[in-house]
Structure 1
Amino acid sequence: MHDKQLTVTDTLSLGFMTFAFFLGAGNLIFPPFAGYQAGDHSYTAMLGFLITAVGLPLAGLIAVAKAKGRVMRMLPATAATLFAAAIYIIIGPAFAAPRTSLVAFEIGARPFLTDVESTLTIFGLVLNEAQLYFTAAFFAVVMLLAAFPGRLMDSVGKVLTPVLLLLLVALALSVVEFIGNPMPAATGDYALHPLSKGIVEGYNTMDTLASLMFGVLIIDLLRQKDIHDTSLQTRYLIWAALIAAAGLAFVYVSLFILGATAGDLAKGTENGGQILTNYVTHQFGYAGTIALSVVVSLACLTTAVGLVSACSDFFSSLLPKLTYRMLVVVLSVICAVVANVGLSQLISISIPVLMMVYPVAIALVLVTFVNNWFRNPRLAHRAALSVALIFGIFDGLKVAAASLQSFDVKSESPVTMALVHFVEGVSPVMSKMPLYDQGMAWLVPTLIVVIGCFFFGKKPAINN
C-alpha cells in the first residue's frame, strides 16, 4: 500500500495553515515598534529580526522533520519533559496567551474607548479598569470555547485566516505606496549594534519555540492524511515551512518599514499595536480601523483558544489527576490575571525569560542539523544545550536586573538588590565574553562546544 501524495493545492493549503499557526495577531506589534526605534538603522535591524523571527522558525520546522518528530530524543527524559513544559508555559499562560488579549485590547477596543486611563485598586494593585474588564471577558469566552471545543472554532478559522491574510496583503501593499517620513535617528541599542538588537528583538515572536511544537503537530496531521513515509513527511513539512517563512518575511518587512517611516503617527506610542492602529486610521479612515479591530480581535481569540487548549492537553497528559477541563479553567484564570500587567510591561518581563530559553532552542536546532557529524551525538546534544542554558541565564539575569530597576520596584527590595549585586559581581568576568554587551554571550561558547564535539567524545556502541 502506497502512501497518499499531496496535490499542489494541498501543499499550498498546508503552507498557509503553517503560516497561520505562526502569525498570531500578537506578532503584528513587534516589527512596527522595532522599525520606529531602529530608524535609519532599520534595514540592518530588520535583517537581525528576520534571522530569529523567520529564519529560525523555518530551521526549527526542518529540524523537526529531520529528527522525524523526535527532536528532543537525545536528551534525558526528565530534561526533555522540563524543556517541553517550559515552552508550553512560555507560549501559554506566562506570556503568549495573555498577550493575545492585550493586543486585542490595544487594537480592537482602545481606539473606540473615550476613557481608557481610569484605574481601580485591587489588593493594593492599581489596574487599568477598561483593560481589566476586557481581559476578564476575553478569557471567559476563551474558557468556554476551549472547554467545549466544536466546529465553531474550525469554521471561524477557515473564514478568519483568509480575511486576515487579505487584510495583511492590503496593509503591506499600502505601505509600499505610503509616502512616509524620513527615517529618524536610531535610538538605544539600535544605534550601537542594530543587527544583534534586531536578533534579540525577534525572540519576542516566540516562534522558534513554537516551531518545535508545530513541527510535531504538522507531522501528526500528515499521518492523519495517510502519509506515513518519513521522507514524504519531511518533504511536505519543508515545503510548508518555506511557504510560511515567505509569508512571514513579507509581513514583517512591510511592517518594519511602516514603523521606520511612520513619523508623527508613531510619536508618543508605547508599542507597535498603537502605531499600527494610527497608521490604518490615517490611511483607511474609521472603516479601516473597525475592520482591523474585528479581524485582529477574532484572530487573537482563536489563537488564545488554541494556546490554552494545547497547554491543557499537554499538562493533562503530564499530570493525570488534573483533567483537561480543570486545566482550561485554571489556565484561563491565570492568563486573565497575567494580562493585567499591561502589554508594554508584559513584553519587558518576557524578555529576560526568552533570553534564557531561546539559546537552548537555537542550540537544539543547530545540533539537530549537524547531528551526523558528532562522534557521540547524545553527549554533543547534552553538552551544547547545557552551555547555551548556562550562558543564556547570565544574559537573562542582566536584562532582568535592568528591567527591575526601570520599573516602580523599590530600590531596597531584597530580591532586586540581590539580583543587581549578583549581576554587578559577575559582569567584570562576563564582560570579557564576546557579544555579552549585545545579549548573546551564549553564542561563541556554544559554537565552540558544538565544533569540539565533531572531534572529541567516545563513539557509542553500535547497539546504543
Structure 2
Amino acid sequence: MSKLSKKNLLLISLMLFSMFFGAGNLIFPPLLGQMSGTKLIFSLAGFLLSAVGLPILAVAVVAKADGLQKLASRVNKKFAIVFTLLIYLSIGPFLGIPRAASLSFTMGISPFLDKSVNSSFLPLFVYSLCFFSVAFWLSINPTKLVDRFGKILTPSILLLIATIFIASFFNPIGGFSSALGEYRNTPLLKGFLDGYMTMDAIAALNFGIVIALVLKSKGVSDDKLSYYTIKAGAFAGLFLTIIYLILSYLGACAQTRFGSSENGAQILTNIVSYLFNHNGLIILGLIFMLACLTTCVGLITSCSEYFSKLVPRVSYKSWVTLISISSMLFANFGLSKILKISVPILTAIYPMAIVLIILPFAHRYFKGYNSVYSATMLFTAIFSISDSLNQVGLNMPFLKYLPLSKEGLAWTFPAIVGILVGFIYGEITSKKDLKLKNSSLNVTE
C-alpha cells in the first residue's frame, strides 16, 4: 500500500504535534501575549514564523534529503557525522530529554510538596524513575506511537488546554494592555526571536526518522515517504498554530488582572488558579507532564533509531534502555543546572541547524555548490560558538559590532557573507574545471 488514509494521516500529524509540543512551547506564548498586549497580532506573526515555520521546514528538508546525515553531508562527510551525532546527543540524553523530565517535575509535582520534602533529592528521583519507566514502555515499540499519541495522549493535552480556554469565556480574565519593552517598537522581530528560542528546529531534524518509521509500518512505499512526511508536518504545524493562538491570547488577557509575571509558567499558574482555584494547578500539572512525556518519548525513539543504525550490533531496544537510564540520571541534576549547561550548547549548534534547514531551499539559485554549504556553515559556526563562549563568561567583544548581536543573532550577517564567499568560490572553480575540460578535449582531438 502506498496511499495513506486520511485517518492515519491525522493520527500521525497529532503524534508529530505532541512530539514537538513540550514544556517550552507552553511557556513562551503566554509570556509573549502578556508582553505584547495590543500588538499581539504582530508579535504572534513573528513567533509563528520561527516557532512553527522553521520546524516544519526542517521536517520537509530532512524528508527530501532522506535523513539528517545525508543533508549535513552537503557540507562535508566528516562534518555530517560529527554534527549529526552532536544534534542527537544534545537534544537527546545529555540535555533535551533530562530538561523536559525535570521541568515536568517542577511544574507538575513540586508545587504540591512541602518545602522540606522538596529540598530532598528523593522526590525528583522517584518521579524520574516513574517518568522514564513510562517513557521506556512507550518508546520500546515506536510503531504503536500513532495509536498511543494520536488517540490518547495528544487529545488529552488538547482537551485540557481547551478546558482552560473555554473557561476563560465564562469567567473573563481581563482585557489587553499596552505593549511592553521591545514588543512596543519591534513586535514582529521580538516575536520571531521568542519563537527562535523554542529550539524546535533541532528537534525537527531528529523526528523525521520516527515519522518515516511509522509511515513504513502503515505500508507507505519509500517513494511516498517524503510526500506524507511533509503533509503530516504541515498538519502538525496547523495544530501548533491553534494552540499558540490560545496560549498567547490567555497571556495577553492576564496582564491587566495579574500584572507582569516573570515567566510563562507563572502566568499560566495565575490563570488556572483564577479559573479553577486549587484544582487549576492539577490541570496545569497534567498538561506539563503529558507535554514533556510525549516530547521525551519522541526524542528517545528518534535517538535510539539513529544509534541502532549507526551501531547495528547494539539493538534498538538496548539503545532505548541506555538512553532512558542515562536521561533519568541527568534529570536528577535538577532543572537549574541542566538549563545552565544546555543554553550555551544550544546557542552554539542551533544557528548551524537553521543554516542547514534554509540553504536547501535556495539550492538551485546558488547552483548547488558545496562550497556555499561549507563556507556558510564555517562562518556561522565561528560566530555561534563565539556567542556560546560569551555566555559562559569568556568575553568576545567583537560580537557587539555585528548586526542583531544584542538579540542573539550575531551569526546572521556572517552567514550571509559565507553564502557570497561560497558562491564566488564555486563560480571560479567551476569555470576553471570547464576550461580544463575544454583544453583536454582539444588535445584529444
CA deviation profile, 1:110-134 (whole Å, cap 9, x unmatched): 34334377424xxxxxx6x543443
Aligned to 1:86: 86
Aligned residues with identical type, % of pairs: 35
Structure 1 pair 116–273 and aligned structure 2 pair: CA distance change class (3 A):
farther
User: 1:367: which partner in 2?
Assistant: 359
Asked if the contact 1:375–1:453 (Cα under 8 Å) also holds between the matched residues in 2, the reply is no
> Are the equivalent residues in 1 in contact too, given 2:11–2:147 (CA < 8 A)?
no
**Structure 1 residues 191 and 354 mapped into 2: Cα distance closer, same or farther (>3 Å)?**
farther
Is 24-33 or 193-202 further displaced after alignment? 193-202
| One-letter amino acid of the structure 2 residue matched with residue 113 of structure 1 | L
Q: Is the 8 A contact 2:18 2:291 kept in 1?
A: no
CA shift for structure 1 position 56: 0.4
Match of 2:160 among 167, 170, 194: 167
> Does the alignment pair 1:432 with 2:401?
yes
Aligned pair count reads 427
What is the one-letter code of the residue matched to 1:214?
F
For 2:276 and 2:301, locate their aligned partners in 1 and report how far apart those are by CA, in whole Å: 35
296-305 or 431-440, which moves further after superposition? 296-305
SS in 1 for 2:115: coil
1:199 aligns with 2:224: no
Please, which of 4, 20, 23 is the counterpart of residue 22 of structure 1? 20
1:170 CA displacement: 3.5
- Counterparts of 1:77-156 in structure 2, within 5 Å, are 77-115=77-115, 118-120=118-120, 130-143=123-136, 146=139, 149=141, 156=148
User: Which one is further off, 376-385 or 111-120?
Assistant: 111-120
Q: How does 1:1-80 map to 2 (within 5 A)?
A: 4-37=2-35, 42-69=40-67, 70-80=70-80
Query: Structure 1 residues 77, 453: CA separation in 2 closer, same or farther (over 3 Å shift)?
Result: closer
Q: What per-residue deviation string (whole Å, max 9, x for no partner) do you get for residues 117-153 of structure 1?
A: 7424xxxxxx6x543443344335445665x558986
Q: 1:203 to 1:102 in 2, by over 3 A?
A: farther
Structure 2 length-normalised TM? 0.81
Q: What does 1:28-427 correspond to in 2, within 5 Å?
A: 28-37=26-35, 42-69=40-67, 70-115=70-115, 118-120=118-120, 130-143=123-136, 146=139, 149=141, 156-157=148-149, 158-174=151-167, 178-180=172-174, 182-183=176-177, 186=180, 195-228=188-221, 230=223, 232-263=224-255, 271-294=263-286, 296-319=288-311, 324=316, 327-343=319-335, 346-347=338-339, 349-401=341-393, 419=394, 423=395, 426-427=396-397
Distance change >3 Å, CA 335–CA 217, structure 1 → 2: closer
Q: State the shift of 1:267 in Å.
A: 6.5
2:411 aligned partner, one-letter code: W
Greater Cα shift, 88-97 or 356-365: 88-97
The residue identity in structure 2 corresponding to 1:166 is: L
**Structure 1 residue 369: deviation in Å?**
0.8
Which residue does 2:440 correspond to in 1? none
1:368 deviates by 0.8
SS class of match (1:372): coil
- Residue 208 of structure 1: CA displacement? 0.6
Q: 1:459 aligns with which of 425, 430, 444?
A: 430
In structure 2, give the amino acid aligned to 1:93.
P
Cα RMSD (Å) = 3.5
Query: What CA distance in whole angstroms lies between the structure 2 residues aligned with 1:203 and 1:87?
Result: 17
Post-superposition offset of 1:192: 7.6
1:116–1:130 Cα contact (<8 Å) kept: no
Match of 1:445 in 2: 414
C-alpha distance in structure 1 between counterparts of 2:88 and 2:423, whole Å: 32
Instruction: Give SS of 1:75's match.
Output: coil
Residues 294 and 438 of structure 1: CA distance in aligned 2, closer, same or farther (over 3 Å): closer
| Separation in 1, partners of 2:321, 2:160 | 33
SS at match of 1:103: helix
For residue 391 of structure 1, report the CA deviation from its aligned partner.
Answer: 1.4
- Is 2:18–2:294's contact at 8 Å kept on the other side of the alignment? no
Question: Deviation at 1:39?
Answer: 5.5
Distance in 2 between the 1:136 and 1:114 partners? 20
Distance 1:349 1:44, change over 3 A: farther
- C-alpha spacing 1:13/1:155, structure 2 compared with 1 (3 Å): closer
User: CA–CA distance in 2 between the matches of 1:306 and 1:181?
Assistant: 37
Give the counterpart letter for 1:51 in structure 2: L
**1:97/1:304 contact within 8 Å kept:** yes
CA drift of 1:88 comes to: 1.3
Whole-Å separation in 2 of the counterparts to 1:35 and 1:451: 38
User: 2:84 is aligned with what amino acid?
Assistant: A
TM-score when normalising by structure 1: 0.78
**Contact 1:183/1:260, CA 8 A, preserved across alignment:** yes
Consecutive unaligned residues of structure 2, counting only runs of 5 or more, are: 435-445
| CA spacing shift, 1:138–1:220, aligned 2, 3 Å | closer
Q: Does structure 1 retain, via aligned residues, the 8 Å contact 2:72–2:83? A: no
